[in-house]
Amino acid sequence: MAILVVGSIALDTIETPFGKREDILGGSATYFSYAASFFDKVCLVGVVGEDFPQEHIDLLKSRWINTEGLQVIKGKTFRWIGSYEGDMDIATTHSTCLNVFETFQPIIPKKYRDLDIVFLANIDPDLQIGVLSQVNKPRLTICDTMNLWISIKKDSLTKLLGMVDIAVMNEGEARMYANTPNLIKAARHVLKQGPKYVVIKKGENGAMIMSDQFFFTMPGFPIEDVRDPTGAGDTFAGGFVGYLSKSGKVDKASLKKALVYGSVMAAFNVEDFSLDRMKRLDDREIEDRYLEYVNLTNFHF
């Protein structure tokens, strides 16, 4: 199968207890694409400005990510400035300059419209809905979101949830959307809006997936040296959707393993700034960490 992803591409300036980096490659679609590319073919739709370094496009291409849907338009690339402190659980946003992203209208190239899997990375839910109207009955649709859209575009988000197969949220977003502190209740509430499955990301505490008939929960892969958590959720989604695409199935067994691969990929990503750790990553390391995860969590032997 192959994956269409639509989302943000950004230049981030990030400060963590481990240092500061300026104008480094970021964005939801970027992290997702790069992580998913270890599993299957990815076609990227997004927008950048004229200032976007060619080396970043070359980097994506080096992973066989199709960038024909990447619009390069007049103006500056989307920029985010943020920082993390202490356990780096929560990002503090210092500035968000949408720039070319402000008027972004995703245009799905004709050759992308029949792809099997569509991942709607975190952007305005109205734009996510617009993407779904351009594609031809994908086998699997997945959306992510963020707290901003729950605050200012909840109706659009609810409409979107009724149109996708899998909703991916982090625990804070799920609680906020469902207006309940209990995560199981929150997940059930999201499911009521229409998706077959809801995936709740819990950062260092792992993730869970729920449907009406099925529930799976898992701890996070323990990481001693977290340097920059930016993109962890998108990288998780990249591993999750990437594995589903590779496996060609959306059954319980595949969904569970996909969640583990998501956690494994996110665990690599947080070990360095931007995509730096993933740039050094190979398939063997992913398999090794998957097996390490099995070993760390299996209580049957």
The site for its own copies (CB under 8 A) is made up of: 86-88, 175, 181-185, 188, 202, 204-206, 208, 215-220, 222-226, 253, 256-257, 259-260, 294, 296-301
- CB-nearer residue toward its own copies: 64 or 215: 215
Min separation Cβ 92 and its own copies, Å: 15
Amino acid identity, residue 215? F
Min separation Cβ 206 and its own copies, Å: 6
Q: How far is CA 198 from CA 143, 168, 191, in A?
A: 10, 6, 6
Min separation Cβ 180 and its own copies, Å: 9
**Greatest pairwise CA separation for the chain in angstroms:** 58
- CB-nearer residue toward its own copies: 62 or 179: 179
Min separation Cβ 271 and its own copies, Å: 12
Min separation Cβ 265 and its own copies, Å: 15
- CB-nearer residue toward its own copies: 125 or 220: 220
- CB-nearer residue toward its own copies: 273 or 293: 293
> What number of other Cβ atoms are within 10 A of residue 188's Cβ?
15
Crossing angle of helices 252-269/232-247, nearest 10°?
Answer: 140
End-to-end CA distance of the chain: 35
- CB-nearer residue toward its own copies: 56 or 289: 289
The single-letter DSSP state of residue 6 is: E
Rg over alpha carbons for the chain, rounded to the nearest Å, is 18
